[in-house]
Amino acid sequence: MLFNSIDFLLFFPAVVLAYFLWPQRVRYLWLLAASYFFYACWNAKYAVLLLFSTIVTWLTALMMERSRASGRSRLLQTASFAFCILSNLGILCLFKYFDFLLSNVNAALGLHFTKPESFSFLLPVGISFYTFQALGYVIDVRRGTIAAERNFFRYALFVSFFPQLVAGPIERASNLLPQFQKPTFFNVENVRRGLLTMAYGLFLKIVAADNLAVVVDYVFHDFATANGMRILVATILFAFQIYCDFEGYSQIAIGAARVLGVSLRQNFRQPYLATSVREFWRRWHISLTTWFKDYLYIPLGGNRRGPFRKRLNLLLVFLVSGLWHGAAWNFVLWGGANGLLLVMQDVTEKFRHRVLKALRINPASLPWRVFSVMATFVIIDATWLLFRVPGMSAVWPMAKRIMAQFNPLYFISSDFVALLGPPRQCVSIVAALAAVFATDALRMLRPGLAKRILSQPAAIRWPFYILAVFSILALGAYGKGNASPQFIYFQF
């Protein structure tokens, strides 16, 4: 079930209404049932995988905690922990990486193994997200930072909570589980704030991302005949498409949870206003970045074992992050490129500070910050080409064509206007990008934008609400019939 579908428009109000009508003691059970129904609407059979991951991680956490409390052998704790990690990652690899591994083994060894027909299956939606969320819980219990959850159904809700089930944010048990243990009450302010957040998420998805997708898909699907400037424009627009698509999902998830009285963590903080690659990754897909930091980078040694080991750890984490995003070498290359950029920033940091000091440039000055934001975007956008290409064989031809045919005057040409599509689509893209830029700038300069909007008099608020709804209806890109374009991160 997609957030941008008629089905969800009917499902969500029904869930909220019934949730607040149920007695307090069973509300979490209602949310659990609704969450499994939400997932089963995509493919009921794969809900078994979600249930398996839930059972294994729940039992493992209990077993480790009880063994530790009773002073039993650490070997039992280690064995159960290893089984939990390997079984969950094994299922993830089987469904997501089997074809990739088989094709690479064949290529490396000159073999011709073929996949059995019984191994032909869809990638379970959200498997990377809920697997990491469940494994994060088990690791936290093993470290002793949280206590194991005794109530299976409450823990199952933590793993399957429908607003963030299929594309995050990847939540921590320390944040979400305590909220499911507390009484919840209908709160008008939560509803107002949640619906406003959801509306902005729908705007990002339907008006911004889906209109941009028409242009981006057109160029990348026919990249062999596209000129270099069209590829460059599509790459720039893809940067905003993936941001608006993923941030749109996150905003809808956060808003839906807020209506139910649940607080989810922010997943983005104006990433394209970052002044460095390091800052960009502190602002982009925060829940995944911090997951890798806490459960991979720090266990590898983090920055505690000298600069060389620190940089190697950074590179390894980003290579794994690239593979997490997709079973293809272009994703690994994309992750590696971002890792190298971070290593280069770390290596050259002292030298850059000396240069700025020698040139008497104030890093905090507005002109330098604007330049840094623009330079960071150019660098990050170059890596998005690796992310979006249809395959490794297309990377160099597309990059070479951009460099060979670069022409800044293209942006005032008739072909550029034609590329943006018919007038309605062109207006939608321009209006959406302007709104996104303005919103991100306001949220950075004056935090609490939603609170400020909701605190305005009704004479200001209601015209704003009407304009927001009208813009989604009038400028949105819609699929045929009841079909709606799915979110990009569903494939991960």
> pLDDT (tens digit, 9 = 90+) per residue, 189-209?
999 999 999 999 999 999 999
Asked which of 154, 170, 186 is the last residue of a domain, the reply is: 186
Output 42 or 90, whichever has higher pLDDT. 90
- Coil, helix or strand at residue 383: helix
Say yes or no to pLDDT of 483 above 60.
Answer: no
Q: Which residues of 285-306 are buried (b: 16+ CB within 10 A; e: fewer)?
A: bbbbbbbbebeebeeeebeeee
Are 160 and 239 members of one domain?
A: no
Peptide bond into 423 cis (omega under 30): no
Are 207 and 166 members of one domain?
A: no
Please give the Cα distance from 172 to 134 (Å, whole number).
Answer: 9
Please give the Cα distance from 96 to 325 (Å, whole number).
Answer: 10
> pLDDT (tens digit, 9 = 90+) per residue, 149-187?
999 999 999 999 999 998 879 999 999 999 999 988 899
How much is the pLDDT for 177?
95
How confident is residue 452, by pLDDT bands cut at 50, 70 and 90?
confident
How much is the pLDDT for 55?
96
| CA distance between the termini of the chain | 16
Please give the Cα distance from 310 to 301 (Å, whole number).
Answer: 7
How confident is residue 72, by pLDDT bands cut at 50, 70 and 90?
low
Residue with tokens 């959406």: 432
Candidates 181, 183, 175; CA nearest to 146 is 175
Are 337 and 357 members of one domain?
A: yes
Report percent pLDDT > 70 for the chain: 96
Q: Please indicate, yes or no, if residue 1 is contained in any of the structural domains.
A: no
> pLDDT (tens digit, 9 = 90+) per residue, 244-279?
999 999 999 999 999 999 999 999 999 999 999 999
Are 137 and 259 members of one domain?
A: no
How much is the pLDDT for 116?
66
Q: Please indicate, yes or no, if residue 38 is contained in any of the structural domains.
A: yes
Output 73 or 385, whichever has higher pLDDT. 385
- Residue range(s) defining the domain that contains residue 122: 6-186
Query: How does DSSP classify residue 328?
Result: S
Helix, strand, coil shares, percent, the chain, to 5: 75, 0, 25
Query: What phi and psi values does residue 481 have, to the nearest 5 degrees?
Result: 60, -125
How much is the pLDDT for 104?
82
Say yes or no to pLDDT of 282 above 70.
Answer: yes
The radius of gyration computed from the CA coordinates of the chain, to the nearest angstrom, equals 24
Domain count, the chain: 2
How much is the pLDDT for 418?
92
- Coil, helix or strand at residue 34: helix
Say yes or no to pLDDT of 121 above 80.
Answer: no
Please give the Cα distance from 71 to 90 (Å, whole number).
Answer: 30
Contacts of 2 (CB under 8 A, 6+ apart): 8, 484, 486, 487
Please give the Cα distance from 62 to 440 (Å, whole number).
Answer: 43
Please give the Cα distance from 432 to 420 (Å, whole number).
Answer: 13
Say yes or no to pLDDT of 490 above 70.
Answer: no
Whether the CB-CB separation of 8 and 487 falls below 8 Å is answered with no
Asked which of 154, 186, 218 is the last residue of a domain, the reply is: 186
Asked which of 133, 156, 186 is the last residue of a domain, the reply is: 186
Residue with tokens 């002292």: 350
Are 150 and 225 members of one domain?
A: no
Q: Which two tokens stand for residue 132?
A: 């990491």
How much is the pLDDT for 303?
86
Whether the CB-CB separation of 386 and 394 falls below 8 Å is answered with no
How much is the pLDDT for 3?
83
Please give the Cα distance from 420 to 427 (Å, whole number).
Answer: 9
Say yes or no to pLDDT of 484 above 90.
Answer: no
Please give the Cα distance from 204 to 244 (Å, whole number).
Answer: 5
- DSSP string for residues in 74-89: HHHHHHHHHHHHHHHH
Q: Please indicate, yes or no, if residue 231 is contained in any of the structural domains.
A: yes
Q: Which two tokens stand for residue 262?
A: 């649940």
- Average confidence (pLDDT) over 404-429: 92
> pLDDT (tens digit, 9 = 90+) per residue, 333-389?
999 999 999 999 999 999 999 999 999 999 989 999 999 999 999 999 999 999 999
Say yes or no to pLDDT of 482 above 50.
Answer: no
Are 248 and 342 members of one domain?
A: yes
Q: How many CB atoms lie within 10 A of CB 265?
A: 17
CA 243: distance to chain centroid?
Answer: 9
Least confident among 29-33, 276-280, 451-455: 451-455
Are 11 and 158 members of one domain?
A: yes
Are 156 and 194 members of one domain?
A: no
How much is the pLDDT for 480?
47
Q: Please indicate, yes or no, if residue 75 is contained in any of the structural domains.
A: yes
How much is the pLDDT for 110?
78
Are 156 and 203 members of one domain?
A: no
Q: Please indicate, yes or no, if residue 450 is contained in any of the structural domains.
A: yes
> pLDDT (tens digit, 9 = 90+) per residue, 75-119?
888 888 999 999 999 999 988 888 888 888 888 877 777 766 656
Are 342 and 477 members of one domain?
A: yes
- Average confidence (pLDDT) over 456-476: 87
Helix axes 228-259, 210-221, angle to 10 degrees: 150
Are 358 and 322 members of one domain?
A: yes
Say yes or no to pLDDT of 65 above 80.
Answer: yes
How confident is residue 460, by pLDDT bands cut at 50, 70 and 90?
confident
Residue with tokens 């941030």: 247
Sequence length of the chain is: 492
Cβ burial of 150 (10 Å; 0-12, 13-18, 19+) is exposed
Going from the C-alpha of 87 to that of each of 84, 313, 337, the distances in angstroms are: 5, 25, 30
How much is the pLDDT for 119?
60
Dihedral sign, CA of 431, 437, 441, 444? Answer: positive
Active site members: 325
Torsion of CA 460, 463, 468, 473, to 10 degrees: 180
CA atoms within 13 A on the CB side of 231: 29
Q: Please indicate, yes or no, if residue 106 is contained in any of the structural domains.
A: yes
Residue with tokens 């950074």: 314
How much is the pLDDT for 83?
94
Q: Please indicate, yes or no, if residue 216 is contained in any of the structural domains.
A: yes
Are 406 and 332 members of one domain?
A: yes
In whole numbers, what is the pLDDT of the chain averaged over residues? 90
